[in-house]
Structures are given as structure tokens and as C-alpha cells.
Homo-oligomer: A and B are copies of this chain.
């Protein structure tokens, strides 16, 4: 057994203050699927409207029920999107990584942010005002189609989560979330996929409508059967196939 002593993954990754300069911003933006295929002048216009901000781990980017003024695009790092229940429990709606869009997406009327966003790791986020974003969408119809597509995909994902929470037992739901995280944020690694993100059992619980104690029990079971290895705030998937089967994804 590989006894891997690990500090939290954060410590390796530093976002230097000047990291998101204009040139780097342009490079990042040109890699973002929404803007892919845009001609150079259009890309310059897009670049012009975005501002880059760095956030420390744990910093709040926006809160539920505040008037939505901006739209955010993750350039580097990961962001937690969550809501709170009346009694204060967290519900983790999504973990966002590179190129994901969030914030004030519904733009008609003076709407509010529908969730709370926190930097999970130190991160660099590109920000645009809703007004400017609307202008971009109106001007570059390619972009509008791409963004629509992304939001529709998020909707599908949310509905898949509803189905999972509605019909699957806890063990299956946790297997499911591990597979999704491995695919979205994981990194290939000797003999497995390392989920490179400071995820506590509390976070996993908040993603799949359960409690940290239950997550711990299920995770222990998966570790015993050799499908995963775990430590504090990290998990390595050793047998993705097995997890996917447990999750009911055949």
C-alpha cells in the first residue's frame, strides 16, 4: 500500500497576484469553449470587457439574493456553488472548474444571484457585467449559442442529480458523485484518478443530500473493497468502472 503523505493540494498551487494579466487573460479566453472559433478582433472585444480577479481560498464571490450584476468565468482554480436551507445546512449544487460560467445568468428584469459562490481553492476569475455580457451575446451569435448550450447542459446535470437523489440509495449516490468529480476535476495518477480538490466528507454529503457520518461509512466500505484510496481531503479513484456500476450507470 502506497503510504502517500500529502499536504492539502492547495499548497502546491499559487496564484500570483499579477497572474491574470491582459495577455494571459486573452490566452485563457481564447481557450474557453464559448469563445472558441471567434475571429481575432471579436476576441479582442471579448477580452476588453472582462476583468480578472484573484481570490483566496474561502473567499466569497457573491451571495444568494443579492442583486446580480456580474457574470463570472473560472480561469483557474475551483469554485463552490451552494445554497443554504432554512436551518442552515449547506446544499452543494456544483463545483466549478476551468472555463465554467456562473453568476447572473438570467438577465431579464433585475434578478438576484440564485446561489452563493465561494472560492474553494485560490483562484482566478474573469468577471464581466451583465450589461456587457448581453452586448456580447447580441453581437456574437456564436457565443450566445455556446452559452445556451452550456446552460442547457447544466440543466441536464441538475435533473440527473434530482433523479439520483430521488431514486438511488446513499451508497450509489456517493459512488456517482465520485465518478463525476473524477471525470470533471480529476487528474490521472499512478494507478488511479486523483481528485485534486480540498473536498471534505461534509462537502460530499452536501452534494448528495446526506450527512458526513454516512459519507464516512460509505467511503470506508469503498476503501475496504479497494475501489478507492483516501486521506484527509483527497480521494483517489482506483476502479472507476466499479464505482460507475454501483452508481447504476451500468
Q: Which residues of A contact B (CB under 8 A)?
A: 83, 85-87, 89, 91, 93, 105-108, 114-115, 134, 137-139, 141-142, 144-149, 151-156, 158-163, 165-168, 206, 209, 248
Residues of B within 8 A of A151 (CB): 148, 151-152, 155
Once the chains bind, are A145 and B152 in contact (CB under 8 Å)? no
- A163–B207 Cα distance when bound, in Å, is 10
Tell me how far the C-beta of A63 lies from the nearest C-beta in chain B, rounded to whole angstroms: 15
For residue A248, which residue of chain B has the nearest CB? B86
Once the chains bind, are B138 and A145 in contact (CB under 8 Å)? yes
How many copies of this kind of chain does the complex include?
2
A144 CB contact (under 8 Å) in B89, B137, B163, B206: B137
Once the chains bind, are A166 and B85 in contact (CB under 8 Å)? yes
Question: Would you call the interface of chain A mostly helix, strand, loop, or mixed?
Answer: helix
For residue A155, which residue of chain B has the nearest CB? B155
Tell me how far the C-beta of A84 lies from the nearest C-beta in chain B, rounded to whole angstroms: 9
Once the chains bind, are B145 and A107 in contact (CB under 8 Å)? yes
Once the chains bind, are B209 and A105 in contact (CB under 8 Å)? no
Tell me how far the C-beta of A112 lies from the nearest C-beta in chain B, rounded to whole angstroms: 10
For residue A208, which residue of chain B has the nearest CB? B166
Once the chains bind, are A106 and B147 in contact (CB under 8 Å)? no
- A234–B57 Cα distance when bound, in Å, is 51
Question: Can you list 16 A-B contacts with CB-CB less than 8 angstroms, sorted by A residue number?
Answer: A85-B166, A85-B168, A91-B167, A93-B163, A105-B155, A107-B145, A134-B145, A137-B145, A138-B141, A141-B144, A144-B144, A155-B155, A158-B158, A161-B162, A165-B209, A166-B209
- A96–B148 Cα distance when bound, in Å, is 20
Once the chains bind, are A148 and B156 in contact (CB under 8 Å)? no
Residues of B within 8 A of A137 (CB): 141, 144-145, 148
For residue A137, which residue of chain B has the nearest CB? B145
Once the chains bind, are B83 and A159 in contact (CB under 8 Å)? yes
Give 6 closest A-B pairs by Cβ, nearest first.
Answer: A85-B167, A166-B209, A158-B158, A105-B152, A106-B152, A144-B144
